[in-house]
Amino acid sequence: MNEPKLIAGNANKPLANSIARRLTLHRGKMVKPVDARVERFNDQEIFVEVYENVRGEDMYILQPTSNPANDNLMELLIIADALKRSSAARITAVMPYFGYARQDRRAKARTPISAKLVANLISESGIDRVLTMDLHATQIQGFFDIPVDNLYAAPIFALDMLHQFKGRLDEVMVVSPDVGGVARARELAKRIGAPLSIVDKRREKAGEISEMTVIGDVRGKACIIVDDICDTAGTLCKAAEVLIEAGATEVHSYITHGVLSGPAVERISNSVMKSLVITDSIQPTDAVSACPNIRIVPTAPMFAQAILNTWNGTSVSSLFDMETLAPIYDGLYPAE
């Protein structure tokens, strides 16, 4: 029986290597990313060459489409084309972070739905299925004409919160930084048995917030802001300030995808937030890794298990439960 084979683009090689190590642990035999080169010509055209035989193999391309989004997207499509033309049996795009997901509808006249365009490109490139995590809008799964498995960071975050806030969970309040993220925050609050609050924000234009209001009583609470993407961190830091002004004793944030562009790291360093927890779905920059109040939780155990479940035809949705994930993360969050 053929083993699942992993191939990595340049977007997040440390995560690809971590997933390969987890697959080695599960399979009891050495698993390494397929030997290949993904390079650029002088005019920045992307060139891919796979050095191993992949005929009839079940291939998994590890490539988040993070910054630079266009380069990483083209790498994914060209790797997929190389594998398809090399007679791979099945190609799965493992995209821990799905770029262009924020452009999922026409909010104004004469604007694109870029998420749908990217879904079309992926479907037409020869990719047979997509494995991703915390899509900005879950309905993006419907943009694809191929199967899409959307994993959730919530059970990992819940395990982390139960460990970090052990003994004082009664002080914790989960906060959604906007009305649109209430469902995500409610799901996490339910997992740890905490109440829910909302910060209502109003924007005059993109990237600028004119007003914020706290809905709910946060006095004396340790507030945990939950969201899927943190880009420039303006909204996050402003929300933390508003919560402290409303009487919160401390503010922490759990964000799935740490895009953290521009002044984000500096803002977080100078913020009233005690900590920001992100996943490694996007490869952290040196500045992010060096920031003392940013902590990174690994996703490799979950993605490795999802790849194995896809390969052997078992349930991927079983990974939505904390009970299933706890043994996978055993040692990182030991049972007390």
List, for residues 174-221, the tens digit of each pLDDT value: 999 988 889 999 999 999 999 999 998 776 665 555 688 899 999 999
Instruction: List active site positions.
Output: 201
Contacts of residue 249, defined as CB under 8 A and 6 or more positions apart, other chains included, come to 171, 220, 221, 222
24 confidence band (pLDDT: 50, 70, 90): very high
43 marked ligand binding residue: yes
Distance, in Å, from the CA atom of 208 to the CA atom of 12, rounded to the nearest integer, reads: 30
Ligand-binding annotation for 222, yes or no, is no
pLDDT tens-place string over residues 37-53: 999 999 999 999 999 99
CATH: 3.40.50.2020, 3.40.50.300, 3.40.50.2300, 3.20.20.70. Which one for 4-152+300-328?
Answer: 3.40.50.2020
Question: 254: helix, coil or strand?
Answer: strand
Round to whole Å and give the CA distance between 175 and 102.
Answer: 21
Question: How sure is the predictor about 335, in pLDDT bands with cuts at 50, 70 and 90?
Answer: low
Q: Do the two domains 4-152+300-328 and 154-297 of this chain adopt the same fold?
A: yes
**pLDDT for the residue 331:** 74
44 is in an annotated binding site: yes
Give the neighbor-by-neighbor strand order of the sheet with 208-215. Answer: 208-215, 196-205, 172-176, 222-230, 250-258, 275-279, 294-297
- Tell me if 40 is assigned to a ligand binding site: no
Residue 71 marked as a ligand binder: no
- Residue 336 pLDDT exceeds 50: no
Query: What is the structure's pLDDT at 205?
Result: 61
In this prediction the pTM is 0.93
CATH assignment of 154-297? Answer: 3.40.50.2020
What is the pLDDT at residue 235?
87
Q: What is the mean pLDDT of residues 306-332?
A: 90
For the chain, the structural domain boundaries read 4-152+300-328, 154-297
Assess whether pLDDT exceeds 70 at residue 86: yes
Residue spans of alpha helices (H) in the chain: 13-27, 69-85, 114-124, 154-164, 182-192, 234-245, 264-269, 286-290, 300-312, 322-328
